Structures are given as C-alpha cells and as structure tokens.
Amino acid sequence: MKIAFSTSGETLEAPLDSRFGRAPKFILYDLERDYFEVIDNRQNLNTSQGAGIQSAETIARSGVGCIVTGHCGPKAFRVLSAAGIAVYNCGEATVADALKAFREGTLKTMDSADVEGHWI
C-alpha cells in the first residue's frame, strides 16, 4: 500500500506540514517496496477556494490508501472519504517520525474534519 504525507520538503527528514489543503508537497511512500516519490502541490497553494478539494483530488488520483497530515478541513475530508482514503491525524515533526508512528500503529484515523474550512 502507498501512503501519503503532507510536507514542505522532499526527503523523509522534511517537516510534516500540518495543513492538508495548502501543503506545498506530498511524499508518497510505498510500504511494500520502501520507496518514495514526491508530488508537487504548489499549484494549489495559490488557490483561493477549493485548495482542500484539489489536494484531495490529487491524492485520490495518486492511488494511495491513506494520508497522514496535521489537519483536514470538511471539504477535503468529504472527497477523501468518497475516494475511500483513510485520513490519519498526526502531530509528529517530520515525515520520518510520522512514518514510524504509522508503522507502530499509534496513529488515529479521523472520522470527521477537525478544522473549519479556510484554515491556513
């Protein structure tokens, strides 16, 4: 399974970005092959409205099974749920720490959006 992390960097040491909709990049980590790729989400950073929806579309099309991020707004959450992608909420500082926490099974899935829309 592939798993996505919202981030501002391009390595596993990069910080986990707490904003799902306006995260500059996503790291897609393949758990079976221990391999990752980076996708750019900066186009979205400049969106006035619907950044969460667009990020969620990007994630849904990338074929991941779940996303680990800080906070997720209501619109993005609806799209992710419709696409069958689980959302994990995480306060870890880096992508590597978040991945470790995911492997250890200590992350919790969100069952609803945890912030209002327009969260920057």
Partner 1 sequence: MSGARIEELVVISGKGGTGKTSLTASFAVLAADAVIADCDVDAADLHLVLAPRVLERHEFKGGHEALIRKEDCTGCGLCRVYCRFDAIGMVREPNRRPTFAVDPVSCEGCGVCVRFCPVKAMDFPERVCGEWMVSDTRCGPMVHARLGLAAENSGKLVSIVRREARRIAEEKGKEVIIVDGPPGIGCPVISSLTGASQVVVVTEPSVSGEHDLERVLALTKHFSIPTAVCVNKWDINQEMTERIEKMSCGAGARLVGRIRYDSAVTTAQLRELAVVETDALSAEDIRSVWDNLGF
Partner 2 sequence: MILAVASGKGGTGKTTVSVNLARQLGSGVQLLDCDVEEPNTNLFLDCTEPEEEIFGIPVPCVDEALCDGCGECGRFCQFHAIVSFGTKPVIFPEMCHGCGGCMAVCPKRAISEVSQRMGLIETSRSGNITLIQGRLDIGVSMAPPLIRAVKARLQDGMPAILDAPPGTSCPVIATLRGTDMVVLVTEPTPFGLHDLKLAVDMVRELRIPFGVVVNRMGIGDDRVYAFCGKEGIPILLEIPYDRRIAEICSRGELIVDALPEYSSLFATLLWNIKELRGMERRASYVRSAN
Can you give the binding site for partner 1, defined by CB under 8 A? 8, 15-18, 45-49, 70, 93, 116, 118-120
CA distance 98 to 105: 10
Give residue 79's region: left, alpha or beta (phi > 0; psi -120 to 50): alpha
Give, as ranges, the residues between 14 and 73 that touch partner 2 (CB under 8 A).
49-50, 53-54, 56-57, 60-61
Closer residue to partner 2 in complex, CB, 83/93: 83
CA distance 21 to 38: 16
89: three-class secondary structure by DSSP = strand
In the complex, least distance from residue 5 CB atom to partner 2, rounded to whole angstroms: 21
Residue 1 is which amino acid? M
In the complex, least distance from residue 42 CB atom to partner 1, rounded to whole angstroms: 11
Pick the binder of partner 2 from 83, 91, 100, 108 (CB under 8 A). Answer: 83
